[in-house]
Amino acid sequence: MIKKSLSNEQSLRLQLLRFPLIVGVVFIHVYGATLMFSGIATGAGEKNHISDFIQSVISQEIARCAVPLFFLISGYLFFHDTQWSTESYVKKIISRTRTLLFPFLFWNILTLLIFFLAQSVPATLSYFSGNKTLIANYSFFDYLNAIFGLTRYPISYQFWFIRDLMILALLTPLIHFSLKWLPKTVLGALFVLWFLNIGENSSESAFFFVLGCYFGIYSQSIFLLDQPISKSLMPTLIIYTLLIIANALFLEVPSYQYMHKTGIILGIPIILYLTQPALSLPRLKKMLIALGSTSFFLYAMHEPTLTVFKKISYKLIQPEHNSSIIFIYFFSAIITIITSIALHKILIKTFPKFTAAITGGR
């Protein structure tokens, strides 16, 4: 099969998504009205329906499309312009030791060191302890587990995505074989596992990565709502809007899990489509491309930075009302994003080679 390369426009559209999707990840992790200080839950004592609704729409509905979309794009890019062979596979795996493995090790070891030092100082202990075992009390296996996430999240927990992505990349020969011979069966089985939440993050990463691989192997466009202005666009947008509002209002109903997953399935093609009108806005396009270069650094640094900012805000403000909870929600995310961008700018000017290495050459 002759592979179709990404057009310049499609490649640019994927670049435009890099920063907004990472911002989505930040907003996923800022969600919640309580925090752990030295094993004690602190935060609003009563439910605040307005703040809960706003946070749920942004963090639990819209932003939740970000991680599946990253896996989808990663799987797609692994195969989209590649004539499959052992040689191409080896080249891609070697490349990913630089783009994935080295940053994975660096940031988890750095985070482990930061937590150890912060837990050694009484003034900062409560900001870095939560309700978990102190690092000073770790066994040898605990250290390995914290770095690699063998039976838990890595200590820099957002790097579970990179861990799963590396495992899936190693499994691409099996994925390629199965999609060549039993594509519908494989995708159907993975979809059921994800939709029923069997395997949690693992089923999500596997389904969307393999789905992206399918689009790449068979040279199918992932921009499903494009052609030419799809008749499905407006109905999909209307249904998705109503669905995320309903989901945010009824988080505790038994069917929420399935309605939430349906929202992700509808939200992903909408987000991909929105990159098309974004191209016609020169200032927005230029800004997103420029910010895209900071995406991996923001991804790597936003935790524990985000949690520390949020804990400081909770200590100072002690929120009880909608306005203060929403203020902390947005403030913590925005200050984390701004701080990360500023630090990346300083590092890229001062230590360009080092910064490139710890961000996978991005």
Q: What pLDDT does 48 receive?
A: 72
Q: What pLDDT does 227 receive?
A: 66
What residues does 43 pair with on adjacent strands? 34
What residues does 346 pair with on adjacent strands? none
Per DSSP, the residues of 81-119 read T----HHHHHHHHHHHIIIIIHHHHHHHHHHHHHHHHHH
Grouping H, G, I as helix, E, B as strand and the rest as coil, residue 41 is strand
- Residue 358 · residue 106 · CB < 8 Å: yes
Regions in the chain scoring below 70 on pLDDT: 1-5, 33-47, 126-127, 129-131, 227-230
Q: Residue count of the chain, please give it.
A: 362
Residue recorded with tokens 């919640």: 32
Say which residues have a Cβ less than 8 Å from residue 282's Cβ, sequence separation at least 6.
none
56 is written with which tokens?
């749920």
- Residue 241 · residue 57 · CB < 8 Å: no
- Residue 216 · residue 75 · CB < 8 Å: yes
Q: What pLDDT does 22 receive?
A: 97
Q: What pLDDT does 94 receive?
A: 94
Per DSSP, the residues of 286-354 read HHHHHHHTTHHHHHHHHHHHHHHHHHHHHHHH---SHHHHHHHHHHHHHHHHHHHHHHHHHHHHH-HHH
Half-sphere exposure of 93 (CA within 13 A, CB side): 13
129 is written with which tokens?
């302890």
Measured at the CA of 115, the angle between CA 112 and CA 117, to 5 degrees, comes to 110
Specify whether the backbone of 199 is left (phi greater than 0), alpha (psi in -120 to 50) or beta.
Answer: left
Say which residues have a Cβ less than 8 Å from residue 280's Cβ, sequence separation at least 6.
none
Half-sphere exposure of 330 (CA within 13 A, CB side): 8
